[in-house]
Amino acid sequence: MLLSSSLYVFFPLTSAFGIVWAFTIFERVDVELGLEYYAEKGDPSTFLKMPANASVNLGYLLVGLYWLWKIRKLEKKLKDQAVFYYLFSWMSVFYALVQFGRIVTQTRLFAVIDQWFTLPFFAWLVCWNEFVYRGQWNTGRYLFIMRISVLSYFAVLFHNQGFEAVLSLHILVALVYSLRTQLKPGLGTETSLMSMILALICCTGFVCLKLADHQLAQYSLFQSFTGHFWSKVCDVGQIHFVADFFKNLHMRPENDKRVS
């Protein structure tokens, strides 16, 4: 399951690359291209362009590999739920490559894929919550949710703020479904609640630090490592605490108290 699950991320991702590369309609998508959109002082003549912003994407790779390793040991105990961890972890691994590619190439292809790839992260959390909350597998429901998520990206073709609107909706729905899971009697625990809070803090930090990238650069604390860099650190933390949230729902320490 460990390796085979990677194909469920690899093939859709490569298909998305092919679609964006082949169809000129994506030239209409409003994306940020160029070093001027980043507070880090980059050098366009070098491969990394912006060393800090490029290297921070290693965090996505490491957190993905960490959870792949952790769940591999718990696969028999987790049973069907292991596939949710595996796909989520593989998404993080592949996202590291997409983010790195966007920084070092500064091309529309990687910028569009970066946006598009972000949405299924949150849609997968909705599917995951559905499985945990209902206690049963429903392939049809999961496929419907993921298809709606993927297709929703086409909102970018109709409005310059289409991505921001769709992403905000994805985040809100994922949060609502996670709260529903946490509050269901017999599911939520104090440790899962803490993981959810930390994930939400990281999500907020990711958004705020990224938006304030240039404004924060006037302070010495954010000059060597800018707001964009720290936003990615928060994003990596968000991925970790989301996985930890689900682990704490199902792999409860015996002395943990359930929250009703």
Residue 255, pLDDT above cutoff 70: no
What pLDDT is stored for residue 250 in this prediction?
A: 67
| Residue 191 pLDDT | 95
pLDDT at position 251: 54
Which are the contacts of 256, defined by CB distance < 8 A and separation ≥ 6? 189, 190, 191, 248
Long-range Cβ contacts of 46-53 (<8 Å, 24+ apart): 47/104, 48/103, 48/104, 49/103, 49/104, 49/106, 50/103, 52/224, 52/225, 52/226, 52/229, 53/103, 53/226, 53/228, 53/229, 53/232
| Confidence category of residue 253, pLDDT binned at 50, 70, 90 | very low
Share of the chain above pLDDT 90, in %: 87
Instruction: Tell me the one-letter amino acid at 141.
Output: R
pLDDT of residue 72: 93
pLDDT of 260 over the 60 cut: no
Amino acid at 61: L
For residue 254, give the 3-state DSSP assignment: coil
